[in-house]
């Protein structure tokens, strides 16, 4: 296994390339990122004592008195994490109080009216001036309020004016500390959960003021996705570090959970800045986000975007960037697919993919359609584009894909490919897509043979839900995957026959087989068995040509299974 420093470097390389671009854009729009108040937070949390499990965090929260939860306002995962905590805490039969920065204390009567069911969601949102005074994503915050109300949790607004003036931010901290102290006196035995902006949770800010107000009250601070802690944890041997203990003493217990990556945080903030800059309610422009992910992967692989030839580099990649449809309607996608010549089966498959994952790369027309932004899906779409571009995009005639037919999922496959070639071309594409998504988004859950084996033990209903297949078809696919992966990759004939599947059953088998190989490829990269030059060569392999895809897949499997170094 690689050393901690090497693991950290390999896991972080592509993300750091992508983050550099988005951070430059944010600094140009929001110069306040360099203010001392914000630096206090960044400088306070640079290391941790040990790695812990998510269950350890929940245990500490359940036995605490006051819990300060750090909120990165632009990241929906921040609010949804506290929602999940609330749902977990209902099993402990203890009164819980929720305090939120989002709502001003002056508007408590409005919040109380909503809590009692006297006003609806729309009126609550309008009267607390959510868009004007806060402006972040409403949906995850409202989900938190609903979860609190459903579990009988008292809810209080903790903030005061002015929000836009960092020179007055200390007054807001003092106001919040006073309100939290009032909650402790009013709810003497309750667990008090406070969701407040992460920069307020630097030790000398809100925590210090609370310790002055409540000297006998031990505090638990739960940070989320702190950059320095995330990059440090990237050097751990675990696939994904769930949480770390930053420090613990008699008065101060600080933990940090990881439910997003720094790149995911800043891309969400960039989308907020884009929306605020346009001052309207139209869909955000997701083009720069997709292009930034592509650029991060391009830099990681050492690809020259301006290369005039297509041998060891894709030719003029800079001219091949995909069109991005940002959060358009599904009706528009149906019209687009119909107009561009996609078959009924392909349209059904692509619409299902959008429903399941929020976005899809349309290879025959070189476009990305995004209904809902998610880092896992976006990173995979960016990788699928780059893989197509490295091999040469399909020719277009009158706006329609020409000279290639398409696989069931809409991916272009050379017309001369036989059944085995088409299947393993799809598998190879899925393998690189999964690999690239983990390079850009290491938090994506690994998929290994043990995970496939575990599916044999779930209930019939869960298996059908997880695979979206009828039970008999799901079992048949799992049998195929298990037998295929057990075969010695050096016996090529055992790996190059396509299963006799059709429709979604075919797609699921190809996808899962590709994802398993992609995860093997990612592990080999982390272990130093695959260089970026070798990875770039995989992206440039012309699997759309006859007999190439099965041979390339067998060669890759052999290299990964035998531990051969490139």
Look at residue 277 and tell me if it is in a domain.
Answer: no
Q: Which of 228, 258, 288 is a domain's end point?
A: 258
| Cα separation, 106 vs 160, whole angstroms | 8
pLDDT at 35 over 90: no
Identify the CA nearest to 370 among candidates 263, 260, 277, 284. 284
Mean pLDDT of the chain: 90
Cis peptide before 59 (omega within 30 of 0): no
Q: Which of 225, 258, 291 is a domain's end point?
A: 258
Give the pLDDT of residue 347: 85
| Cα separation, 432 vs 409, whole angstroms | 16
Q: Which residues of 270-284 are buried (b: 16+ CB within 10 A; e: fewer)?
A: bbbbbbeeeeeeeeb
Q: Which residues of 215-228 are buried (b: 16+ CB within 10 A; e: fewer)?
A: eebebbbbbbbbeb
- Which of 40-44, 396-400, 562-566 has the least mean pLDDT? 396-400
DSSP assignment, residue 322?
P
CATH number for the domain harbouring residue 207: 3.40.50.11550
Give the pLDDT of residue 1: 56
pLDDT at 34 over 80: no
pLDDT in tens, 272-295: 998 888 766 667 789 999 999 999
Give the pLDDT of residue 562: 77
Tell me if residue 513 falls in helix, strand or coil: helix
Cβ partners under 8 Å of residue 148, min gap 6: 86, 96, 98, 155
Give the pLDDT of residue 401: 44
Identify the CA nearest to 83 among candidates 8, 129, 149, 164. 149
Tell me if residue 156 falls in helix, strand or coil: strand
Give the pLDDT of residue 491: 59
Mean of pLDDT values over 16-38: 87
pLDDT at 261 over 90: yes
Look at residue 211 and tell me if it is in a domain.
Answer: yes
Mean of pLDDT values over 236-265: 93
| Segments forming the whole domain that contains residue 218 | 31-258
CA atoms within 13 A on the CB side of 397: 3
Please state whether 439 falls in left (phi above 0), alpha (psi between -120 and 50) or beta.
alpha
pLDDT at 348 over 60: yes
Residue bearing the bigger pLDDT, 228 or 487: 228
Look at residue 20 and tell me if it is in a domain.
Answer: no
Look at residue 78 and tell me if it is in a domain.
Answer: yes
Q: Which residues of 434-469 are buried (b: 16+ CB within 10 A; e: fewer)?
A: bbbbbbbbbbbebbeeeebeebeeeeeeebbeebeb
| Cα separation, 303 vs 289, whole angstroms | 19
Look at residue 118 and tell me if it is in a domain.
Answer: yes
Look at residue 311 and tell me if it is in a domain.
Answer: no
This prediction's pTM: 0.89
Specify the number of domains making up the chain: 2
pLDDT at 411 over 70: no
Q: Please provide residue 144's backbone torsions phi and psi, each rounded to the nearest 5 degrees.
A: -65, -45
Mean of pLDDT values over 52-57: 96
The residues with which 193 forms a beta bridge, in sequence order, are 67, 98
Q: Which of 258, 273, 303 is a domain's end point?
A: 258
Give the pLDDT of residue 92: 80
Look at residue 322 and tell me if it is in a domain.
Answer: no
Q: At 455, list the tokens.
A: 């599916």
| Cα separation, 91 vs 84, whole angstroms | 12
Give the pLDDT of residue 395: 46
Give the pLDDT of residue 281: 64
pLDDT at 235 over 80: yes
pLDDT in tens, 66-83: 999 999 999 999 999 999
Tell me if residue 381 falls in helix, strand or coil: helix
pLDDT at 112 over 90: yes
Query: How does DSSP assign 278-306, residue by residue?
Result: HTS-SPP--HHHHHHHHHHHHHHHT--TT
Look at residue 334 and tell me if it is in a domain.
Answer: no
pLDDT in tens, 449-484: 999 999 999 999 999 999 999 999 999 999 999 999
Residue bearing the bigger pLDDT, 155 or 168: 155
Mean of pLDDT values over 550-566: 83
């Amino acid at each position: 296994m690689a050393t901690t420093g090497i693991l950290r470097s390999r896991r972080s390389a592509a993300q750091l390339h992508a983050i550099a671009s988005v951070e430059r854009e944010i600094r140009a729009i929001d110069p306040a990122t360099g203010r001392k108040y914000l630096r206090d937070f960044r400088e306070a949390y640079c290391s941790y004592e040990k790695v812990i499990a998510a269950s350890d965090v929940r245990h500490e929260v359940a036995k605490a008195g006051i819990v300060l939860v750090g909120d990165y306002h632009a990241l929906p995962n921040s609010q949804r994490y506290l929602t999940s905590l609330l749902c977990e805490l209902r099993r402990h039969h203890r009164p819980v109080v929720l305090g939120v920065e989002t709502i001003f204390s002056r508007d408590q009567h409005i919040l109380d009216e909503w809590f009692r069911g006297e006003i609806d969601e729309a009126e609550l949102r309008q009267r607390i001036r959510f868009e004007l005074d806060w402006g972040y994503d409403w949906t995850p915050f409202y989900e938190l309020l609903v979860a609190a109300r459903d579990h009988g949790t008292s809810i209080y607004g903790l903030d005061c004016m002015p929000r836009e003036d960092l020179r007055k931010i200390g007054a807001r901290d003092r106001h919040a500390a006073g309100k939290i102290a009032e909650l402790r006196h009013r709810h003497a035995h309750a667990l008090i959960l406070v969701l407040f902006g992460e920069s307020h949770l630097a030790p000398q800010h809100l925590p210090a003021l609370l310790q002055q107000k409540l000297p006998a009250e031990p505090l638990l601070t739960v940070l989320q996705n702190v950059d320095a802690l995330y990059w440090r944890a990237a050097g751990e041997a675990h696939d994904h570090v769930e949480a770390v203990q930053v420090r613990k003493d008699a008065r101060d217990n600080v933990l940090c959970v990881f439910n997003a990556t720094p790149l995911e945080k800043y891309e969400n903030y960039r989308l907020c800045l884009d929306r605020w800059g346009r001052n309207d309610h139209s869909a955000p422009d997701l083009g720069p986000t997709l292009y930034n992910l592509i650029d991060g992967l391009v830099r990681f692989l050492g690809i020259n975007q301006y290369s005039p030839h297509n041998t060891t580099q894709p030719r003029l990649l800079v001219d091949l960037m995909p069109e991005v449809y940002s959060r358009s309607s599904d009706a528009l996608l149906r019209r687009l697919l119909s107009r561009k010549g996609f078959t009924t089966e392909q349209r059904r498959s692509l619409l299902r993919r959008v429903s399941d994952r929020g976005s899809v790369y349309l290879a025959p027309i070189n476009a990305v359609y995004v209904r809902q932004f998610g880092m896992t899906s976006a990173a995979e779409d960016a990788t699928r584009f780059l893989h197509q571009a490295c091999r040469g995009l399909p020719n277009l005639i009158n706006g329609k894909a020409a000279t290639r037919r398409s696989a069931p999922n809409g991916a272009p496959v050379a017309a001369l490919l036989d059944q085995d070639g088409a299947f393993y071309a799809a598998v190879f594409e899925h393998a690189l897509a999964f690999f690239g998504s983990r390079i850009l988004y290491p938090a994506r859950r690994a998929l290994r043979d043990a995970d496939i084996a575990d599916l044999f033990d779930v209930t019939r209903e869960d298996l059908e839900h997880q695979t979206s297949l009828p039970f008999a078809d799901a079992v048949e696919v799992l049998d195929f995957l298990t037998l295929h992966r057990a075969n010695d990759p050096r016996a090529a004939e055992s790996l190059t026959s396509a299963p006799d599947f059709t429709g979604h059953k075919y797609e699921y088998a190809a996808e899962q087989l590709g994802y398993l190989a992609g995860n093997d490829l990612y592990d080999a990269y982390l272990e130093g068995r695959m260089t970026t030059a070798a990875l770039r060569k995989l992206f440039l392999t012309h699997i759309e040509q006859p007999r190439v895809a099965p041979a390339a897949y067998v060669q890759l499997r052999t290299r990964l299974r035998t531990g051969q170094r490139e």
